[in-house]
Amino acid sequence: MLSEPADRGAVRFGVVGDPVAHSLSPALHRAGYAALGLTASYDAVAVPKGGLAGFVAGLGPEWGGLSVTAPLKREALALADEVTAVATAAGGANTLVRTARGWRADNTDVPGAVAAIRERSSATHRTATVLGGGATAASVGLALADLGVATITLAVRTEANAAEALAAVRAHAAGPQVAVVPLAEAPVADVVVATIPAAAQTPELCVRLGEAAVLFEVTYNDWPTPLVRSAEQAGAVVVSGLDLLVHQAVLQFQQFTGHPGPLATMREAGEQALAAR
Protein backbone atom coordinates (compact mmCIF):
# COMPACT_ATOMS: atom_id res chain seq x y z
CA MET A 1 0.00 0.00 0.00
CA LEU A 2 1.34 3.43 -0.94
CA SER A 3 1.96 5.86 1.88
CA GLU A 4 -0.15 9.00 1.76
CA PRO A 5 1.32 12.26 0.49
CA ALA A 6 2.48 14.57 3.27
CA ASP A 7 0.03 17.30 2.27
CA ARG A 8 -2.86 17.03 -0.16
CA GLY A 9 -2.85 20.82 -0.17
CA ALA A 10 0.52 21.02 -1.93
CA VAL A 11 0.27 23.46 -4.81
CA ARG A 12 3.46 23.04 -6.82
CA PHE A 13 4.42 20.16 -9.07
CA GLY A 14 6.65 19.80 -12.10
CA VAL A 15 8.68 17.69 -14.47
CA VAL A 16 12.46 17.54 -14.20
CA GLY A 17 15.04 16.32 -16.68
CA ASP A 18 17.57 17.51 -19.21
CA PRO A 19 16.42 18.48 -21.78
CA VAL A 20 12.88 19.09 -20.60
CA ALA A 21 11.57 22.19 -22.40
CA HIS A 22 9.93 19.94 -25.03
CA SER A 23 7.88 18.02 -22.45
CA LEU A 24 4.11 17.78 -22.91
CA SER A 25 3.64 17.03 -19.21
CA PRO A 26 2.88 20.63 -18.20
CA ALA A 27 0.08 20.80 -20.77
CA LEU A 28 -1.42 17.52 -19.52
CA HIS A 29 -1.28 18.23 -15.80
CA ARG A 30 -2.39 21.87 -16.10
CA ALA A 31 -5.40 20.78 -18.13
CA GLY A 32 -6.27 18.30 -15.39
CA TYR A 33 -6.06 20.97 -12.71
CA ALA A 34 -8.27 23.31 -14.73
CA ALA A 35 -10.86 20.59 -15.40
CA LEU A 36 -11.16 19.73 -11.70
CA GLY A 37 -10.90 23.30 -10.43
CA LEU A 38 -7.69 22.64 -8.50
CA THR A 39 -5.39 25.47 -7.47
CA ALA A 40 -1.98 24.13 -8.40
CA SER A 41 0.90 24.83 -10.75
CA TYR A 42 3.03 22.50 -12.85
CA ASP A 43 6.25 23.58 -14.57
CA ALA A 44 9.14 22.10 -16.52
CA VAL A 45 12.47 22.53 -14.72
CA ALA A 46 15.81 21.68 -16.31
CA VAL A 47 17.89 19.62 -13.88
CA PRO A 48 21.16 18.18 -15.23
CA LYS A 49 22.46 14.68 -14.64
CA GLY A 50 23.77 14.39 -11.11
CA GLY A 51 21.71 17.32 -9.87
CA LEU A 52 18.42 15.78 -8.74
CA ALA A 53 19.29 15.22 -5.08
CA GLY A 54 20.42 18.83 -4.67
CA PHE A 55 17.35 20.14 -6.45
CA VAL A 56 14.95 18.08 -4.32
CA ALA A 57 16.73 19.10 -1.12
CA GLY A 58 16.05 22.73 -1.96
CA LEU A 59 12.31 22.37 -2.55
CA GLY A 60 9.97 24.17 -0.19
CA PRO A 61 6.95 22.57 1.53
CA GLU A 62 4.64 23.77 -1.25
CA TRP A 63 6.14 21.15 -3.57
CA GLY A 64 4.16 17.90 -3.52
CA GLY A 65 5.57 15.85 -6.37
CA LEU A 66 7.75 15.58 -9.43
CA SER A 67 7.55 13.80 -12.76
CA VAL A 68 11.04 12.56 -13.56
CA THR A 69 12.44 12.04 -17.04
CA ALA A 70 15.86 11.27 -18.54
CA PRO A 71 18.57 11.27 -17.34
CA LEU A 72 17.34 11.33 -13.74
CA LYS A 73 15.23 8.19 -13.25
CA ARG A 74 17.95 6.23 -11.46
CA GLU A 75 18.83 9.24 -9.32
CA ALA A 76 15.19 9.39 -8.23
CA LEU A 77 15.48 5.84 -6.89
CA ALA A 78 18.65 6.65 -5.00
CA LEU A 79 17.29 9.67 -3.12
CA ALA A 80 13.88 8.25 -2.20
CA ASP A 81 12.95 7.22 1.33
CA GLU A 82 10.42 4.73 -0.03
CA VAL A 83 10.56 2.86 -3.36
CA THR A 84 7.68 0.92 -4.87
CA ALA A 85 8.17 -2.62 -6.14
CA VAL A 86 7.51 -1.61 -9.75
CA ALA A 87 10.13 1.15 -9.63
CA THR A 88 12.66 -1.30 -8.21
CA ALA A 89 11.83 -3.85 -10.90
CA ALA A 90 12.12 -1.26 -13.68
CA GLY A 91 15.39 0.09 -12.33
CA GLY A 92 14.17 3.67 -12.43
CA ALA A 93 11.47 6.01 -11.15
CA ASN A 94 9.50 8.54 -13.16
CA THR A 95 7.51 9.78 -10.16
CA LEU A 96 8.50 11.33 -6.83
CA VAL A 97 5.78 12.05 -4.28
CA ARG A 98 6.43 13.88 -1.03
CA THR A 99 5.15 11.90 1.97
CA ALA A 100 5.32 12.32 5.74
CA ARG A 101 8.47 10.19 5.68
CA GLY A 102 10.24 12.00 2.86
CA TRP A 103 9.94 11.08 -0.83
CA ARG A 104 8.37 8.04 -2.46
CA ALA A 105 9.71 6.86 -5.82
CA ASP A 106 7.34 5.11 -8.19
CA ASN A 107 7.23 4.12 -11.85
CA THR A 108 3.95 4.83 -13.65
CA ASP A 109 5.46 4.02 -17.05
CA VAL A 110 4.86 0.29 -16.50
CA PRO A 111 1.14 0.42 -15.61
CA GLY A 112 0.77 3.32 -18.06
CA ALA A 113 2.06 1.09 -20.86
CA VAL A 114 -0.31 -1.69 -19.80
CA ALA A 115 -3.25 0.73 -19.94
CA ALA A 116 -2.15 2.21 -23.28
CA ILE A 117 -1.98 -1.22 -24.93
CA ARG A 118 -5.25 -2.43 -23.41
CA GLU A 119 -7.04 0.71 -24.55
CA ARG A 120 -6.17 -0.01 -28.19
CA SER A 121 -6.20 -3.83 -28.22
CA SER A 122 -8.17 -6.31 -26.11
CA ALA A 123 -6.69 -9.32 -27.90
CA THR A 124 -4.44 -11.85 -26.18
CA HIS A 125 -0.86 -11.54 -27.37
CA ARG A 126 1.76 -14.23 -26.72
CA THR A 127 4.87 -12.90 -28.44
CA ALA A 128 6.52 -9.47 -28.56
CA THR A 129 9.59 -7.91 -30.11
CA VAL A 130 10.99 -4.81 -28.43
CA LEU A 131 13.31 -2.70 -30.57
CA GLY A 132 15.92 -1.25 -28.22
CA GLY A 133 17.26 -2.23 -24.83
CA GLY A 134 17.25 0.90 -22.68
CA ALA A 135 15.15 2.04 -19.73
CA THR A 136 11.98 2.44 -21.81
CA ALA A 137 12.43 -1.06 -23.20
CA ALA A 138 12.67 -2.40 -19.65
CA SER A 139 9.46 -0.65 -18.56
CA VAL A 140 7.49 -1.76 -21.62
CA GLY A 141 8.93 -5.27 -21.33
CA LEU A 142 7.59 -5.49 -17.78
CA ALA A 143 4.22 -4.20 -19.02
CA LEU A 144 4.12 -6.88 -21.72
CA ALA A 145 4.81 -9.54 -19.10
CA ASP A 146 1.97 -8.10 -16.99
CA LEU A 147 -0.27 -8.52 -20.04
CA GLY A 148 0.62 -12.20 -20.32
CA VAL A 149 3.09 -12.07 -23.19
CA ALA A 150 5.12 -15.27 -22.84
CA THR A 151 8.00 -14.65 -25.25
CA ILE A 152 9.77 -11.29 -25.42
CA THR A 153 12.72 -10.55 -27.70
CA LEU A 154 14.90 -7.47 -27.28
CA ALA A 155 16.34 -6.53 -30.68
CA VAL A 156 19.25 -4.15 -30.17
CA ARG A 157 22.15 -2.49 -31.93
CA THR A 158 24.57 -3.18 -29.04
CA GLU A 159 23.84 -6.29 -27.00
CA ALA A 160 25.78 -5.16 -23.92
CA ASN A 161 23.55 -2.11 -23.55
CA ALA A 162 20.51 -4.34 -23.09
CA ALA A 163 21.84 -6.18 -20.02
CA GLU A 164 19.79 -4.25 -17.46
CA ALA A 165 16.57 -4.44 -19.46
CA LEU A 166 17.12 -8.15 -20.03
CA ALA A 167 17.61 -8.78 -16.32
CA ALA A 168 14.56 -6.71 -15.37
CA VAL A 169 12.17 -8.53 -17.70
CA ARG A 170 13.59 -11.96 -16.87
CA ALA A 171 12.96 -11.30 -13.18
CA HIS A 172 9.22 -10.72 -13.73
CA ALA A 173 7.07 -13.09 -11.68
CA ALA A 174 5.28 -14.36 -14.80
CA GLY A 175 8.53 -15.89 -16.00
CA PRO A 176 8.49 -14.83 -19.66
CA GLN A 177 11.08 -16.23 -22.03
CA VAL A 178 13.41 -13.35 -22.89
CA ALA A 179 16.17 -13.22 -25.48
CA VAL A 180 18.44 -10.61 -27.06
CA VAL A 181 19.17 -10.54 -30.81
CA PRO A 182 20.76 -8.06 -33.22
CA LEU A 183 18.38 -5.39 -34.49
CA ALA A 184 18.63 -6.70 -38.05
CA GLU A 185 17.38 -10.09 -36.83
CA ALA A 186 14.29 -8.78 -35.02
CA PRO A 187 11.67 -11.54 -35.23
CA VAL A 188 8.05 -11.12 -36.29
CA ALA A 189 5.76 -11.09 -33.25
CA ASP A 190 2.19 -10.33 -32.21
CA VAL A 191 3.34 -7.01 -30.73
CA VAL A 192 6.26 -4.87 -31.87
CA VAL A 193 7.45 -2.08 -29.59
CA ALA A 194 9.71 0.60 -31.07
CA THR A 195 11.96 2.46 -28.63
CA ILE A 196 14.56 3.28 -31.29
CA PRO A 197 14.85 6.56 -33.26
CA ALA A 198 12.98 6.96 -36.52
CA ALA A 199 16.32 7.15 -38.32
CA ALA A 200 17.06 3.55 -37.29
CA GLN A 201 13.76 2.26 -38.68
CA THR A 202 15.02 1.04 -42.03
CA PRO A 203 12.81 -0.14 -44.89
CA GLU A 204 14.15 -3.65 -44.33
CA LEU A 205 13.10 -3.55 -40.67
CA CYS A 206 9.64 -2.28 -41.57
CA VAL A 207 9.13 -5.10 -44.07
CA ARG A 208 10.52 -7.67 -41.65
CA LEU A 209 8.07 -6.72 -38.89
CA GLY A 210 5.11 -5.94 -41.11
CA GLU A 211 2.94 -8.83 -39.92
CA ALA A 212 2.63 -7.61 -36.32
CA ALA A 213 -0.92 -7.18 -35.04
CA VAL A 214 0.07 -4.27 -32.78
CA LEU A 215 2.77 -1.63 -33.12
CA PHE A 216 3.61 0.35 -29.99
CA GLU A 217 5.67 3.37 -31.07
CA VAL A 218 6.84 5.00 -27.84
CA THR A 219 7.69 8.37 -29.33
CA TYR A 220 5.23 11.12 -30.14
CA ASN A 221 7.76 13.13 -32.13
CA ASP A 222 8.67 12.63 -35.80
CA TRP A 223 5.17 11.27 -36.30
CA PRO A 224 4.41 9.15 -38.18
CA THR A 225 7.65 7.18 -37.99
CA PRO A 226 8.50 4.67 -40.75
CA LEU A 227 7.25 1.80 -38.60
CA VAL A 228 3.98 3.62 -37.93
CA ARG A 229 3.41 4.24 -41.64
CA SER A 230 4.12 0.60 -42.39
CA ALA A 231 1.80 -0.62 -39.61
CA GLU A 232 -1.03 1.66 -40.69
CA GLN A 233 -0.74 0.46 -44.28
CA ALA A 234 -0.94 -3.13 -43.04
CA GLY A 235 -4.01 -2.42 -40.92
CA ALA A 236 -2.27 -3.05 -37.61
CA VAL A 237 -3.32 -1.48 -34.32
CA VAL A 238 -1.05 1.46 -33.46
CA VAL A 239 -0.35 2.52 -29.87
CA SER A 240 1.42 5.87 -29.63
CA GLY A 241 3.87 7.52 -27.30
CA LEU A 242 1.15 10.04 -26.50
CA ASP A 243 -1.07 7.17 -25.34
CA LEU A 244 1.71 6.11 -22.97
CA LEU A 245 2.40 9.65 -21.81
CA VAL A 246 -1.24 10.35 -21.03
CA HIS A 247 -1.87 7.11 -19.16
CA GLN A 248 1.24 7.41 -17.02
CA ALA A 249 0.40 11.07 -16.34
CA VAL A 250 -3.12 10.17 -15.19
CA LEU A 251 -1.59 7.79 -12.64
CA GLN A 252 0.85 10.47 -11.48
CA PHE A 253 -1.97 13.00 -11.24
CA GLN A 254 -3.85 10.82 -8.76
CA GLN A 255 -0.77 10.30 -6.62
CA PHE A 256 -0.01 14.02 -6.62
CA THR A 257 -3.53 15.35 -5.97
CA GLY A 258 -5.66 12.49 -4.65
CA HIS A 259 -8.06 12.96 -7.58
CA PRO A 260 -8.42 10.64 -10.61
CA GLY A 261 -6.82 12.28 -13.60
CA PRO A 262 -9.33 13.25 -16.33
CA LEU A 263 -8.02 11.06 -19.14
CA ALA A 264 -9.94 12.57 -22.07
CA THR A 265 -9.16 16.13 -21.04
CA MET A 266 -5.46 15.43 -20.56
CA ARG A 267 -5.24 13.59 -23.88
CA GLU A 268 -6.91 16.47 -25.72
CA ALA A 269 -4.45 18.91 -24.15
CA GLY A 270 -1.55 16.78 -25.34
CA GLU A 271 -2.93 16.55 -28.85
CA GLN A 272 -3.42 20.30 -29.00
CA ALA A 273 0.09 20.97 -27.70
CA LEU A 274 1.55 18.65 -30.32
CA ALA A 275 -0.48 20.23 -33.11
CA ALA A 276 0.77 23.68 -32.11
CA ARG A 277 4.43 22.71 -32.61
Torsion angle, CA of 271/74/111/7, rounded to 10 degrees?
-80
Torsion angle, CA of 222/151/140/207, rounded to 10 degrees?
0
Name the catalytic one among 73, 98, 208, 247.
73
Q: Do the bridges between strand 214-217 and strand 191-194 make them parallel or antiparallel, or are there none, so unpaired?
A: parallel
| Catalytic residue list contains 49 | no
Q: DSSP H helical segments within the chain, as ranges?
A: 25-36, 52-57, 73-79, 85-90, 109-120, 135-146, 163-170, 203-208, 226-234, 241-257, 263-275
Q: 3-class SS at 244?
A: helix
Q: Give the integer Cα–Cα distance in Å for 210 and 35.
A: 40
At residue 112, what are phi and psi to the nearest 5 degrees? -65, -40
Would you mind telling me the total number of residues written for the chain in this entry?
277
Q: 3-class SS at 247?
A: helix
> Where in the sequence numbering do the catalytic residues fall?
73
